[in-house]
Amino acid sequence: MISKSSLLAEPASPAHICPFDQACSYLEAAAKELNLNQGLLEILSHPRKVVTVSIPVKLDDGEIQVLAGHRVQHSDVLGPYKGGIRFYPAVTLREVSALAMLMTWKCALLGIPYGGGKGGIAIDPKRYSVGELERISRRYISELIKDIGPSVDIPAPDMGTSAREMAWMMDTYSVNIGHAVPGVVTGKPLSIGGSLGREMATGRGTMIIVREALADRGKSLVGVRVAIQGFGNVGCAAAELLYEAGAKIIAVSTGAGGIFSEVGLDIPALKVYAAENRKSIVGFPQSVAISNADLLTLPCDVLIPAALENQITEENVNQVQAQIVAEAANGPVTLEANLALEARGVIVLPDILANAGGVVVSYLEWVQGLSYVFWDEERVNREMEHLMVQAYRKVIHQSEVRQISLRLAAYTLGVGRVAQALTDRGLYP
């Protein structure tokens, strides 16, 4: 068993499923399958560094508010830490630590030279003005300035952040260093070193993995019934690309609710509708309103949870009717629900594979930024697809050879690569 670090001894999140404990459970399962010794398991289960900083910010009305910002650096055995920064009310140190650990395995699985990191501030960005968000972003990154850098830790957008926040953070770091450093963050605007293809990357990666899983079963995307929980950056991109490939998107949802159409939704028209209605999709013509909970249980070929964690649990797993569940979000299926789905023969495409397109293109952006040579979108998409398909094939092979689930296969590959690198590097001193 893993001994829990005192660094993470804060109370669990209000949800009854702790993301850090779940991440450790997946690590333990992979370690058992790989027959890793206890010492290696202990090292891999603890983040190398946990940083919490105070962020004093002057609000527009003159009031001073002090926020807490976290950055967890899990492992740099394979390369610099890599991971997003989220602005979200439910951010906790345990959640950020879990996501940093998952990012380590994701990068290792995809074969890119990064370790896992994650950061966040527990705020609702909708409650702050643009000026306030800029001051929060700049102060947060300035407090972390000794702990980040293009060869140390490279942040990226996540829930509640975007290219805008990355631009502020890159500028803050660059001003302090004394020259422009485009490689310090990824997900930036194109004007300051961002990469073509980045905005659609996570959704594109999900589409690719779904496409490959269907192809292994003698099917194409044409006519496949897909339900997508979440119509933000990831869900919207996945919906658009699947629609273009001929899939029938029967349902999508946001936090405010979802919509359903038996004949399939017109995704380009829905994107326009959402843009004109402050991202709301409710009321879209030729659709009926459904809840997020209803969407998860619709009869469909492919279900894509692309919103929050812990959406499919032991409480609703028996109502899930999809044949394939592709985890575009981080941890949308709980450990118990995952076991139940696998027992029923449902194919679960795990998050560290299915949503890895974003970090792959972040890596490609970083490479372009370091070399100051920038690629066209076709090359970015081609390079990303190669890495995604390669990783999928490795997972399938590992699953067949070891006779284990796709999730466990993905984890054994990711954990195994980090464990081998750690063994080869040895311990200092």
* Beta-bridge partner residues of 66: 56
**Residue 270, amino acid:** L
Strand 225-229 versus strand 64-73 pairing type: unpaired
Query: Is residue 310 classed as helix, strand or coil in its secondary structure?
Result: coil
Cα separation, 32 vs 72, whole angstroms: 25
Q: How far is CA 200 from CA 262, 307, 358, in A?
A: 26, 15, 8
Indicate if 118 belongs to the active site.
Answer: yes
Scan for tokens 């209605």, then name that residue: 277
Token pair recorded at residue 283: 């009321």
Q: Which of 4, 82, 106, 118 is catalytic?
A: 118
Q: Tell me phi and psi for residue 10, to 5 degrees.
A: -80, 160
Token pair recorded at residue 79: 């390369």
Scan for tokens 């081609």, then name that residue: 382
Token pair recorded at residue 428: 């200092």
Nearest C-alpha neighbor of 350 from the set 109, 20, 93, 36: 109
Cα separation, 162 vs 225, whole angstroms: 30
**Residue 107, amino acid:** C
Q: What positions carry a catalytic annotation?
A: 118
